[in-house]
């Protein structure tokens, strides 16, 4: 990145636990195509990452300053971004504290820039003069500028240098600066890199050490910076995360229950935060269309019809968030929700939703599941912390349902191909290291259980799977996504 570079680059300050997920979404997302993000390989051709991008991590743990800049947050510069951070899903946007569009890079040489911004006005003179070259092209005395600096510890020195050196150029005039977002007409975004960092290339798993002192910067008008970006991030994203919870013993909407004058909650409003896990997988139609192409060779298949060849099954459904996605988002005409708990009233009233109020492996569940089989999509967000136990239960239940169907008068299978499987893996969590160790164990035995499910569809069934970390997953959760289809 340098002067005149047209690539889209952002400085991002986000919660450290979400930094990898945010990076993936910004790099691999093309018109919101989650198929690229999930990187499922459905054919012999390898899907390549669209562009080679650099990620420069900038340490923030030792900096003092506002809460968002402390050790719980990660600051990085990322180029070749395919979507603005302001248009990521709300679960991602709420984890981003600040973002600034950058365009230029200014390298410092033979200058000692401290990690706490302990420079002076001459330290940053070269940077300020480079910024002024671009700023002067559209400078107007009526313009009001806000200077956003990350890490914040550099802010005071750089703003002082900004005023000093630009006012020297303007002489009898003074540049107008403001901390107020309402008063600013333009924003100068500056990210300072002053220590050894890892530079990662998405085209390789390798990372290299880079020791340099550099500033990344760009100029945005206030509308771009605030309205289109930062006013959609962090706490501002919460307004886009709509959840209307229900009473766990009655299924009645709490808002209505607490205020009888309130209108009935719309059936499309999510009943739980878990809704957003499954919703992310089906955010656009690319995955469904590709599943359809595996089934009949047609790529232009609508998500409103491709999964109609079977029913939907939601295991551990209460209060019904994932059932809502299957019914409302995917448009399935028949959805079976299995859980001994209560479903939200507005979910159970949906046309085609059938609630089996029992544990998964009981006779009641087996009989109920058999009556609605076969299933073209099976999802599970059950509260079982042992992923092995969960997979064993699902496989054993499907085998029992299959045996019941095969022994009956009407020959039916338990699964209908192509089949999509989405399961939340809830891993034991003591430390971040324990999550990774448990995840590695899960990865080793998952193929065995998927093959057992595949055999229920015949001997020529192929299964592809991917473990991903969705935005609505907790730190210790991962999502297993698998697709089963016949060999071509």
In a domain, 3, yes or no: no
Collapse the DSSP code of 207 into the 3-class scheme (helix H, G, I; strand E, B; otherwise coil) and give the result.
Answer: strand
Average pLDDT over residues 400-414: 88
Residue 249 lies in a domain: no
Same domain, 156 and 276: no
Same domain membership, residue 139 and residue 33: yes
Residue 91 lies in a domain: yes
pLDDT at 4: 36
Q: CATH number of the domain at 423, please.
A: 3.40.50.150
302/364 same-domain check:
yes
Which residue segment(s) compose the domain that 260 sits in? Answer: 254-486
Regarding predicted confidence, which is higher, 54 or 449?
Answer: 449
Q: What is the CATH number of the domain that holds 141?
A: 3.30.2130
Rounded CA separation 164/109 (Å): 21
Rg of the chain over all Cα atoms, to the nearest angstrom:
26
Q: Are residues 273 and 228 in the same domain?
A: no
Q: What is the average pLDDT across 398-411?
A: 88
Separation between Cα atoms, residue 446 and residue 449, nearest integer Å: 5
- 377 or 300, which is more confident: 377
In a domain, 37, yes or no: yes
Q: How far apart are CA 308 and CA 334, in angstroms?
A: 8
Give the list of residues 6+ apart from residue 390 with CB closer than 8 angstroms, or none.
Answer: 380, 382, 384, 423, 425, 426
Same domain, 460 and 334: yes
Domain boundary among 205, 237, 269: 237
Kindly state whether residues 88 and 224 are assigned to the same domain.
Answer: yes
Sheet with 9-15: strands ordered across: 96-102, 9-15, 73-78, 54-58, 196-201, 207-211
Residues 481 and 368 in one domain: yes
* 372 and 480, same domain (yes or no): yes
**Cα–Cα dist 424/289, whole Å:** 23
Mean pLDDT value of segment 376-394? 93
Q: What is the pLDDT of residues 85-124, one digit of tens each?
A: 999 989 999 999 999 999 999 886 544 454 444 555 577 8
Tell which of 237, 268, 301 closes a domain: 237
State mean pLDDT over 229-233. Answer: 97
Residue, of 288 and 393, whose pLDDT is higher:
393
Give the pLDDT score at 68: 42
More confident call, 150 vs 298? 150
pLDDT, tens digit, 9 for 90 and up, residues 16-40: 989 988 988 888 754 445 555 555 5
Measured between alpha carbons, how far is residue 259 from residues 247, 263, 270 in Å?
A: 14, 9, 19
Q: What are 427-486's pLDDT values in tens digits?
A: 987 777 888 898 999 999 999 999 999 999 999 999 988 888 889 999 899 999 998 988
Q: Torsions phi, psi of 439, nearest 5? A: -65, -40
Mark whether 338 and 376 lie in a shared domain.
yes
pLDDT in tens, 244-288: 999 999 999 998 887 766 668 888 899 999 999 999 888 766 677
The verdict on residue 451 lying in a domain is yes
Continuous segment of H or E residues that includes residue 438: helix 432-455
How many angstroms separate the CA atoms of 243 and 272, rounded? Answer: 6
Structure confidence at residue 201 (pLDDT) = 47
Quick check: 404 pLDDT over 90? yes
Mean pLDDT of 115-137: 79
Please indicate, yes or no, whether residues 18 and 130 belong to a single structural domain of this protein: yes
Number of separate domains in the chain: 2
What is the tally of helices (H) and strands (E) in the chain? Answer: 14, 17
Residue 28 lies in a domain: yes
Residue 304 CB: number of other CB atoms within 10 A?
A: 13
Task: Specify if 351 maps to a domain.
Answer: yes
Domain identity same for 190 and 273? no
Does the model's pTM come out above 0.75?
yes
Q: What is the pLDDT of residue 132?
A: 95
**Which residues, including other chains, have CB under 8 Å from residue 190's CB and lie 6 or more apart?**
100, 127, 131, 147, 148, 149, 150, 154, 158, 215, 216, 217
Mean pLDDT (the chain, rounded): 83
Q: Is residue 246 part of a domain?
A: no
Q: Please tell me whether residues 331 and 215 are part of one structural domain.
A: no
């Amino acid at each position: 990145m340098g002067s005149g570079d047209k690539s889209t680059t952002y400085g991002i300050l986000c919660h450290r636990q979400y930094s990898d997920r945010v990076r993936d979404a910004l790099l691999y997302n093309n018109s919101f195509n989650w198929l690229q993000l999930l990187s499922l390989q459905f054919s012999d051709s390898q899907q390549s990452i669209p562009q080679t991008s650099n990620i420069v991590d900038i340490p923030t743990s030792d900096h003092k300053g506002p809460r968002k800049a402390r050790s719980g947050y990660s600051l990085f510069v990322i180029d070749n971004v395919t979507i603005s951070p302001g248009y990521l899903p709300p679960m991602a946007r709420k984890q981003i504290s600040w973002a600034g569009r950058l365009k230029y890079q200014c390298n410092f040489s033979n200058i000692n820039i401290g990690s706490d911004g302990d420079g002076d006005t001459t330290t940053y003179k070269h940077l300020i003069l480079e910024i002024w070259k671009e700023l002067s092209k559209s400078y107007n005395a009526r313009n009001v500028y806000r200077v956003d600096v990350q890490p914040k510890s550099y802010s005071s020195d750089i703003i002082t240098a900004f005023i000093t050196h630009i006012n020297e150029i303007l002489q009898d005039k003074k540049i107008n600066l403001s901390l107020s977002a309402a008063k600013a007409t333009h924003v100068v975004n500056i990210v300072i890199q002053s220590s050894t960092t890892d530079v990662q290339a998405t085209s390789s798993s390798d990372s290299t050490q880079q020791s340099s002192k550099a500033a990344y910067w760009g100029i945005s008008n206030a509308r771009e910076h605030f309205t289109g970006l930062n006013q959609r991030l962090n706490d501002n994203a919460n307004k886009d995360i709509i959840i209307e919870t229900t009473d766990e013993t009655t299924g009645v909407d709490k808002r209505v229950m607490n205020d009888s004058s309130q209108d009935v909650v719309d059936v499309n409003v999510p009943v739980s935060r878990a809704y957003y896990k499954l919703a992310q997988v089906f955010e656009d139609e690319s995955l469904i269309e590709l599943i359809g192409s595996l089934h009949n060779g047609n790529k232009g298949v609508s998500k409103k019809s491709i999964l109609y060849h079977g029913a939907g099954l939601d295991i551990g459904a209460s209060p019904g968030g994932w059932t809502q996605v299957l019914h409302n988002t995917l448009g399935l005409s028949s959805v079976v929700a299995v859980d001994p708990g209560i479903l939200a009233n507005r979910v159970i009233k949906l046309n085609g939703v059938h609630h089996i109020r029992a544990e998964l492996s009981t006779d009641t569940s087996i009989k109920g599941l058999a009556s609605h089989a076969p299933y073209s999509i099976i999802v599970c967000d059950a509260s079982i912390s042992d992923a092995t136990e969960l997979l064993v239960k699902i496989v054993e239940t499907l085998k029992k349902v299959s045996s019941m169907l095969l022994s009956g008068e009407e020959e039916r299978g338990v699964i209908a191909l192509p089949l999509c499987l989405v399961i939340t893996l809830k891993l034991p969590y003591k430390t971040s290291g324990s999550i990774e160790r448990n995840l590695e164990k899960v990865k080793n035995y998952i193929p065995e259980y998927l093959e057992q499910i595949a055999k229920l569809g015949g001997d020529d069934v192929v299964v592809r799977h991917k473990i991903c970390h969705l935005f609505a997953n907790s730190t210790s959760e991962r999502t297993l996504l698998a697709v089963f289809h016949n060999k071509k």
